[in-house]
Structure 1
Amino acid sequence: MGIEKITSKIMSEAETVAGSILSEADSGSDAIIAEAREKAEAVVSEARERGAADKVRTVNRREAVAAIDGRKLILARKQEMIAGCFDGAIGQLASMDKEKYVEFLAGIVKSTGSAGGELVFNEKDAAEIGPLLAEKLNRETEGGAFSVSDETESIRGGVLLKNGQVYVSGSIESLVDEVKGELTAEVAKVLFGE
């Protein structure tokens, strides 16, 4: 029985040591699992925070882009309205009362300092206004030698003065274009209070 006692003692000690090792392993594994859970929760929390921050940045970026696009649309619409005002002015000038229109065109031609040349109009004005303007200029200009040209131009109104191959534009479009740069700010102020 001596061997059995020794064997029993060894077995008992082995069971105690094994139990101790298992107990340590259990508590060690519990600690490892708890630490792993903490790390996982930290990673998930950090990812959520990053996601929330990314979401805020994305929303802010999209709002900024939308604001810029909105300002561009407003600016484009304002530019259309300003262009419409200048286009309306061209229409009003072209449809002036005949007497005033002839007077207006005579002033344009006289401002060139020329004493003669061919007066070029659009098709409508060539027939209706041309003879009246040529007669007025010839009467009021010393040595006046103005005539209505047989050629016409596709202008909305006004007159071109032709001397040989040289044309001096007095078209309403070119006259309005000349003052457009100076008047755009004033027109915007009237339209938009800017």
Structure 2
Amino acid sequence: MGADKITSKILDDANNTASKIKSEAQKEADLILEKAKIEAEEQTQDILKRGDKEAETTYNRILAEARLNSKKKMLKERENLINMAIEKLKEDLKELPKKDSYKDILLKLIIEGVMSLDGNELVVVLNEQDMELIEDSALWAIEKELESKVKKVIILKKGAPANIIGGCIIKTADGTKFCDNSLESVFERNMESIRANVASLLF
């Protein structure tokens, strides 16, 4: 399936991105913990010099607070790293139309979109670059392939080019129904899964 291929490609990119920034995350974690430990030690040393009878209790409290602050910082840093990785994947998504496999993915996205709508005459909306990539003969081939499956006449026509990264938007002729299989929409629909996978790769 076209959307599945895109999701798989995104997760592959996530794996590559994760390996690059995971070491940065570890360095940041070590720095946070070391800074917290030094801060706690400095404060408790001052207390011990003053002969505070409750030094041990105070020391433990400071360490507990330091660990809590460290944990909060780590959680914030983790979220920042996940967001950074996702933004990197969004940038990588823009490069997908340049791949050799893109035309095959696009054709599958068109087929998925057509199959999801109950209509005989449908409009295929692409960006300007893909308007040239997908020739009328390719749409005719899709018509014939799907007609044999659904046992009804299907007419596909290109619509005006859209401002999308890639992929397609399939609409009924009257515009009342549509399926948005643009690359960015496929990405957004799979965001929950992408975030979960990025998090598992990073941590």
Cross-structure match for 2:180: 169
TM-aligned CA distance change 1:87 to 1:47, over 3 Å: same
Distance 2:128 2:68 in 1: 52
2:116 alignment partner, SS class = coil
Gaps of 5+ in 2: 1-49, 148-152
Give CA-to-partner distance per residue, 1:37-75, whole Å, 9 cap, x none.
xxxxxxxxx994468866764564355324311331133
Cross-structure match for 1:81: 85
The one-letter code matched in structure 1 to 2:127 is: N
Q: How high is the sequence identity, in percent, across the aligned residues?
A: 17
1:153 alignment partner, SS class = coil
Structure label with greater radius of gyration: 1
8 Å Cα contact 1:119/1:161 also seen in 2:
yes
8 Å Cα contact 1:82/1:184 also seen in 2:
yes
The one-letter code matched in structure 2 to 1:153 is: A
TM-score by length of 1: 0.56
1:39-188 matches, cutoff 5 A = 48-49=52-53, 57=61, 60-85=64-89, 88=92, 90-91=93-94, 93-97=96-100, 99-113=103-117, 114-129=119-134, 131-142=136-147, 143-150=153-160, 152-163=161-172, 164-166=174-176, 167-188=178-199
8 Å Cα contact 2:110/2:168 also seen in 1:
no
**Aligned length, in residue pairs:** 145
The offset of 1:120, in angstroms, is 1.0
TM-aligned CA distance change 1:133 to 1:112, over 3 Å: farther
Question: What is the aligned-residue RMSD (CA, Å)?
Answer: 3.4
Give CA-to-partner distance per residue, 1:103-155, whole Å, 9 cap, x none.
323332333244321111122212332635433333333322111112x2221
Distance 2:55 2:155 in 1: 83
Gaps of 5+ in 1: 1-45
